[in-house]
Each structure stands twice: as C-alpha cells, then as structure tokens.
Structure 1
Amino acid sequence: MNSLQQIAAFADTAKHGSFAAAARGTGSAPSTLAKAVGRLEGRLGVKLFHRTTRQVSLTPDGGRLFRRCQRLLAEVDELQAEAAGVRESPTGTLRVDLPIVLGRRVILPVLARLRRQHPGLELDVRLQDGYADLVKEGIDLAVRAGDLKDSTLVSRRFMAQAMVLVASPAYLQERGTPRRLEQLAQHDALVFRMPTSGKDRPWQFRQRGRALDVHPASGVRISDGEGLVQAALLGMGLAQLPDYFVRDEIGRGELVEVLPALRPAPIPISIVYPGARLVPQRVRVVIDALLTLKG
C-alpha cells in the first residue's frame, strides 16, 4: 500500500474512531487498515493512535497529522473530480472559520444556499471570535474583520462593517441623548472585551475628517457581542457595535443610533485562505458567493 493510501487509511480510522467502523465506511477489512496505519507509524517513527480492543484515539502526533492530511486528501478528491469532468459540482468537506455573530447572521445563509445547490458539499463550520491557524488546523477558508497581519494567506475584501453607537429609548429618555463627544462621559458605557487580547475595545468615531478613539470608563464589560446587544436592550447604557448586530433592533425601534454623524470609517471584512495555485472548487464557490454580498 503506497504512502497516500496509508494516509487515507489513517484519516478514515481517525474520523470513525475505530478500525472496524472505518472498515465499514470504506469497504475494507479492519486488518487491512490496521496494517496500513502500522506501516505509516513505522515509516514516520511516531505513534499515531492510542489503541484499545474496541476503539482508537489520536496521540498528539496523530492529531497534528490528521489536521494536516485532511487538506491533502481533500485536494486529491478535488483533482480526481476535475479529471472526471465534474468540477462544476463541488463535493467534499468545506472547513470554514467564522466570527460568531457575522457567521450566524450573514455567512450561514450563504452556506445554506450553497448546500441546497450542491448536495455533495459537506460543511464543517467553526464559530469563534478568536483567530485560528488555517494551515495548522486544516481550515479551507476564514472570514476576518479589520486589518490582516498574516501575509502567508490570500485575502479578498468582500464587505465592510459600520460601527454604530446605540442605546435603548428608555435609557435615552431617562439620561438624555448625547449630541457631542464630550457628553459621552456623563453616560454609562458598555464595552466589548476583545477575546484575542482581553483588552477593552475603544469606541471609534470620525470628526472633521479625523479618526478618534474614545476609551470610556465603564462598569460593564462583556466579551460576547450578542450579550452586549442584550445589555443595551436592557437599558444598561451606550454600546458601540457592528451595524449588522443591531440592524433588526434599530428597525423595530428597540435601539436608537446615537451620534450617527460621527460614525467611523467602515471596517473591511475579508475572505482569507491559504495560498495555493489550485483553489479547490468547494472553496471557490464560497468565495464567489461571498463576493456578491454588500455591506
């Protein structure tokens, strides 16, 4: 059995959790898979699985190999599909990493539509506000907001998010509506604690063509965007959030934008993916769909 077949046997076993289950899924004999994995371990000089009589679990070395080989095997599947002339119908597992709220509200509807159009496309969607290592974790594509620092990734901007300062009508009725930046110090501030750094995100404004950061004193810090929306709805103070977080609430009159003339410049939102000469069709169809979005 060649190296690629050994890697495929290893990946199938890792996905199914046992040689027997992997054998049922692939139509092979459990002993064949076990021997292939054993040869791969011998060739690499590392132990890939902890074995019991009924199941297997990945060792740390096995976990690292599994994350990396998923991309290799997906590329092989893509090449085989292209050679067979079915490249227009993407198949295989698409692994995407998305910010939580943007993913739920904006990106998942796009993925749902693509899934209906391409039943052979499988989705592995990870919702988190931290940054994942795409290559290390075997992720095909991520969506990220703000300036990008990883020069090894290909990036394509597809939309932008406006930051809006909001409060509930009840809060504004009780405390008054600020008309100038200087008046913000008289109000209760709800701030977002950034998960990547643990620091408070400053409020951002643009006045007379200049970008301004305001660091409000706050008794309320929340590390979840939807929690920040809920706190604003409860009348706990002013909060600055991406517009898509609160678009519906503003439309229903549950929240009111404050200082709209001082909105900061929109923050770019980009698609990022590992650089490669061949972009798999399962990735390409998502890129094309996201590039049609406006925001």
Structure 2
Amino acid sequence: MDLLALSDFNLVARHGGFGKAARASGRPKATLSRRVAELEAALELRLFERGGRDLKLTEEGRALHERTAALLTEIDETAASIASGGDTPRGRLRISAPLLLSQTAMGRIAAGFALKYPDVRLEITTEDRPVDMIEEGYDLVIRVNPDEDETLIGKPFLHDRLAVVAAPGLVRNEADKPVPGVVRGANVAQSWEMTTPKGLETVDVEPVLALSSLIMVRDAVLTGVGVARLPISLVSHSLSDGSLSHWGDIEGSEIALWALYPSRRLLSSRVSAFLAYLKEAFPNGTPDELTAYIAR
C-alpha cells in the first residue's frame, strides 16, 4: 500500500473535504484528489461518497481511517523523535475533560504540564458528552465512570463518592415530608438512599432548584436553600469548617475518573507524559488528594 496516498487520504478524511485539506496542508487540491483516487483503485474500494457540498466517508473509508490514522501519527512521531535525538514529548496534545474537573483542577494541571513540557502544545476542551476520539482528533479523554469501550484502554486515576449535604440550619423533617433540594438535571421529586451512622436511610427530596453545574449546586446549598448530593472532594472544606453538614453518603455512589486513549500498541510520548503527570499530581487517587489539590 502506498503510504503517501494513505497519508493524503487521512488528511482529507480528517478535514472533511479536498478543499479544506488543501488549505490546511498547503497541498494542491488536484494532487490530493489524484492520490485518493489511486488509493481507491488499488484497494478496489470507494472510500468517499462524492456528491453534494459535503464529502462523506463510506463505511469502508471510515474503517480505514479509524485503523490507520493513529498508526501514521505514530510513524511521524517516531521519525521526529529519532531525528531530534530523543523521545522528548513535543507536538499537539488534545484532551477532552469533564466539566467539574475542568472547573476545579484542570487549569492548574494544564499549566503545570505546560511548564514541565514546553514543547507540547496542549489543548483541553470541556464536555461531559461521549466523544469519538478518532473522528474528533482527541489524543486522550477523561471521563467519569465511562461505559466499556473495546476501542479504548486506560485506567482510573482519581476516586470520589457522593455525599448528602446541607447547611446546618436545614433540619431534616421526620414526618415523611420531603425536604427541599438542589439537584443537577431534571427538576423532579427524588428519593435518595444514604448510608449514615444509623445504617441505611432514605430521604425524600422535592427540588426547589435544578442547576446544570455542580459548582452552582454547591454554592446554592451553602445558602441553606436545600439539601444536595455532591462529590465529597468538592465539599470537604465546607464540612470541616462547619458551613455544611454531612447527612450521609449515597449508597453505591463510587466515582472513578478514567484517562482513556485509543487501544494501540505504540503510545505517544505526549500521552505517556500526561498520564505520568496525573499520577504525580494524584499518587493515590483519593478524594482527599483532589480536595487538597483544589485548595492549593
């Protein structure tokens, strides 16, 4: 297989069209079109659906792109590393991280990593939705309790749990009347099972606020407006100084933050360096370490 033609195919696939790929790379559009046509002829496969304004990958084209893009990147990185006389991390590193971690810790993590590895161009985007790492060009994604995905590998680097907390002035009503609550998401009545010193208990909650961010939920709960479920790392200091009371821990609410990357044998030095940096920042991966990191 012609590696140059394969590289041009991946360039066009990544940018979604010959014109966009030509502008991004400085290569002639006609050359890219010819190379892709030659690759299709050699494979006896149609790799793109041509027609209309958009260029779309066929099923075979998508499979080829997913399986070869990362390998070609590794070849380029290996050649660059050898040429530079070492394996110092360099180049672009794109990471997708969840909202709460981004709001509380990723800024400092990113800054510390950039200072340690100045040749890496680090880009971090914040989103809680599932992402297609290959299609969207991510090198690493950080997710909370991710679903199993045979195309990705990784391991958890932080653990947390959900606690039921409220301002000290909010008293739990024992007469089976729901307590006011602050929730993330749908504004509907809920029942929370929590572990307390007395055992397993249930608290019925009638939301008075529905907010999209856990930071917003925490700030609202501190005013005394209602009870909430929040990560223990986010409220540890408030529990310690008495501005919040701990009602219990949500049963079965263990949280794990995973660093995930495409399952391939060769891992780029940039990703390896970032994984090592996370391990350095959170050596044991406990909620207390995250609390201390946020507070510093």
**Displacement after TM superposition at 1:113 (Å):** 2.5
Whole-angstrom CA distance in 2 between matches of 1:103 and 1:220: 23
What runs of 5+ residues in structure 1 fail to find an aligned partner?
none
Q: How does 1:165-244 map to 2 (within 5 A)?
A: 165-167=164-166, 172-173=168-169, 176-178=170-172, 185-193=177-185, 203=192, 205-208=194-197, 214=203, 216-233=205-222, 235-244=224-233
Instruction: Work out whether residues 97 and 124 of structure 2, in 8 Å CA contact, stay in contact via their aligned partners in 1.
Output: yes
1:258 equivalent to 2:258? Answer no
CA contact (8 A) 2:181 2:227 kept: yes
Matches of 1:165 and 1:186, distance apart in 2: 14
**CA separation in 1, counterparts of 2:212 and 2:65?**
32
Aligned to 1:107: 106
Of residues 265, 268, 284 in structure 2, which corresponds to 1:277?
265
Among candidates 45, 56, 59, match of residue 56 of structure 2: 59
User: Aligned equivalents of 1:67 and 1:277: distance in 2?
Assistant: 15
Using the alignment, how far apart are the partners of 2:117 and 2:10 within structure 1?
Answer: 24
* Residue of structure 2 equivalent to 1:121: 120
Q: SS at the partner of 1:191?
A: strand
Aligned to 2:5: 6
Is the Cα contact below 8 Å between 2:81 and 2:88 reproduced in 1?
no
SS of the aligned residue for 1:218 comes to strand
Percent of residue pairs identical? 25
Q: 3-state SS of the aligned residue for 1:122? A: strand
Q: How many residues align?
A: 277
Name the SS for the 2:205 alignment partner: coil
For 1:81 and 1:200, the matched residues in 2 are separated by: 57
CA RMSD, Structure 1 to Structure 2 (Å) = 4.1
Partner Cα separation in structure 2 for residue 199 and residue 141 of structure 1: 35
Gaps of 5+ in 2: 283-288, 291-296
Query: Which residue number in structure 1 is paired with residue 156 of structure 2?
Result: 157
Alignment match, 2:70: 71
2:276 aligned residue: 288
Query: Which amino acid is 1:188 matched to?
Result: P
Which amino acid is 1:287 matched to?
Answer: L
- Equivalent pair of 2:179/2:205 in contact (CA under 8 Å): no
Residue 97 of structure 1: how far off its partner (Å): 2.5
